Amino acid sequence: MKSLQRVQAIILKELLQLKRDKMTFGMVIMIPFIQLLLFAYAINTNIRDIPVGLVDHSQSALSRILKQTVVATGIVKFTHQYSSVKAAQAAIDKAEVRAVLIIPRDVSQRLVRHPTVGFGLPPSSDQENSRPVAQWLVDGSDTVIAASIKSLRNMPLVELLDKPANRNTPTFEVTLLYNPEQRSVVNIVPGLVGVILTMTMIMFTSAAIVREQERGNMEMLITTPLAPIELMIGKIIPYIFIGALQVIIILGIGHLLFNVPINGGLTQLTLATFLFICASLVLGLVISTIAKNQLQSMQMTIFILLPSILLSGFMFPYEGMPIEAQYISEVLPATHFIRLIRGVVLRDVAVVEMTFDMVWLITFTLIGLIVAAMRFKKTLD
């Protein structure tokens, strides 16, 4: 009973302090808001409108149609014209454009003989048959851009000649579930919930105990009957609500601005988020019992944050990582949460069906709480 009263006292104190700390309170709101806009607009794996140049040696009607067909894919837009290949290469060096399309003088002959066009006439040797229509010169340093332009390699040319397509039957038929239009925001927004919560939750709590030590409050707290576990629980409860607020902001904006579907039920969403917030907060507490000052606690937060962004499956698929990275990934709470929330939000899976991830988050929280309470000594030594 007394114990409950002490926990309540800590919670109330934290809330009052938070209310007066305008900076922190602002960050609670602004971090999810700004991060969401940044990530959703910047991390866009379907690249559009890459600025490219054109060297047109042919200057024919056909070359103009070819150019228009390329523009119609939406992947590139022509911003510059160059007279020679040399000038074009210089432009790429200066990063004026990312790639250049070079249309040769004999483009019409090449086109006619091209197998996809399917005239089969006039007869030609294999050598001539296999000649591409035109050439792309690409700045290959950015692999994503290079891949996008590579995808133009097999661009169908039939529209070019106003001829009915002679489509081949594909080897595989691919049905895309959950994100049929292949928009990356649909996958990013739920994952972003995990990244932002990792950042804010660990950051707030990791500073929580260190700050009291730095300001000298701890010397007074230790001489009171307050038990370490009471202090720990009292410190994390207010932040559970803050975490929930941030989730609402991220998913709300994601839904309104980017049309991210929210398929799963609210209960499932709350459950998954609650488990993850607890795990992150406890991780922050453990950090705060190790760090000697607020700077150290911040550095440790970043130490956790980076792998949480890179290895959690948020940016790169888990399955594609080397086995060592997968081990690290499995340890991070963010990995399990990102699986859970993508499951709930995109596929409407119940949290209990993803038993492993759920149990893992619960275990992490309990062990972390015990470790933090044990590491927190009631002396100044």
206 to 17, 149, 196, 211, 377: CA distances (angstroms):
16, 45, 15, 9, 16
Q: CA-to-CA distance for 290 and 288, rounded, in angstroms?
A: 5
36 DSSP β-pair partners: none
Choices 125-133, 143-151, 181-189, 221-229; region in contact with other proteins by CB under 8 A: 221-229
Choices 40-48, 71-79, 209-217, 360-368; region in contact with other proteins by CB under 8 A: 209-217
Q: Does 90 bind other proteins (CB under 8 A)?
A: no
CB of 229 to other proteins, least distance (A): 13
Cβ pair 77, 52 in contact under 8 A: yes
Q: Does 153 bind other proteins (CB under 8 A)?
A: no
Cis peptide before 122 (omega within 30 of 0): yes
For residue 54, what is the enclosing H or E element?
strand 50-56
Q: Which amino acid is at 245?
A: L
Question: Shortest CA distance to 109 belongs to which of 99, 117, 98, 101?
Answer: 117
User: By CB neighbour count within 10 A (0-12 exposed, 13-18 middle, 19+ buried), where does 182 fall?
Assistant: exposed
53 DSSP β-pair partners: 80, 100
CB of 12 to other proteins, least distance (A): 7
Question: Shortest CA distance to 160 belongs to which of 122, 124, 107?
Answer: 107
Q: For other proteins, which residue of 216, 317, 320, 322 counts as binding (CB under 8 A)? A: 216
Q: Does 214 bind other proteins (CB under 8 A)?
A: no
Q: CA-to-CA distance for 239 and 287, rounded, in angstroms?
A: 16
CB of 221 to other proteins, least distance (A): 8
Q: Does 5 bind other proteins (CB under 8 A)?
A: yes
Q: For other proteins, which residue of 215, 256, 317, 355 counts as binding (CB under 8 A)? A: 215
For other proteins, the closer CB: 94 or 215: 215
326 to 13, 323, 357: CA distances (angstroms):
41, 5, 14
Choices 28-36, 58-66, 219-227, 318-326; region in contact with other proteins by CB under 8 A: 219-227
In Å, how far from its chain's centre is CA 117?
40
For other proteins, the closer CB: 26 or 156: 26
CB of 239 to other proteins, least distance (A): 17
Q: Does 226 bind other proteins (CB under 8 A)?
A: yes
The answer to whether the Cα torsion of 133, 135, 136, 140 is positive or negative is positive
Question: Shortest CA distance to 155 belongs to which of 117, 129, 121, 182?
Answer: 117
Choices 4-12, 84-92, 163-171, 305-313; region in contact with other proteins by CB under 8 A: 4-12
Q: For other proteins, which residue of 59, 217, 293, 299 counts as binding (CB under 8 A)? A: 217
For other proteins, the closer CB: 6 or 110: 6
For residue 81, what is the enclosing H or E element?
strand 76-82
Question: Shortest CA distance to 11 belongs to which of 240, 293, 200?
Answer: 240
Q: Does 2 bind other proteins (CB under 8 A)?
A: yes
Q: Does 223 bind other proteins (CB under 8 A)?
A: yes
CB of 22 to other proteins, least distance (A): 11
Using CB under 8 A, which residues numbered 8 to 27 contact other proteins?
8-9, 12-13, 16-17, 20-21
Name the token pair of 248: 């609402």
CB of 204 to other proteins, least distance (A): 15
Strands, E assignment, 104-251: 135-138
Q: For other proteins, which residue of 122, 123, 180, 225 counts as binding (CB under 8 A)? A: 225
For other proteins, the closer CB: 68 or 224: 224
CB of 295 to other proteins, least distance (A): 20
For other proteins, the closer CB: 164 or 216: 216
Name the token pair of 112: 């006619």
Q: Does 142 bind other proteins (CB under 8 A)?
A: no
Residues that bind other proteins (CB under 8 A): 2, 5-6, 8-9, 12-13, 16-17, 20-21, 215-226, 378-381
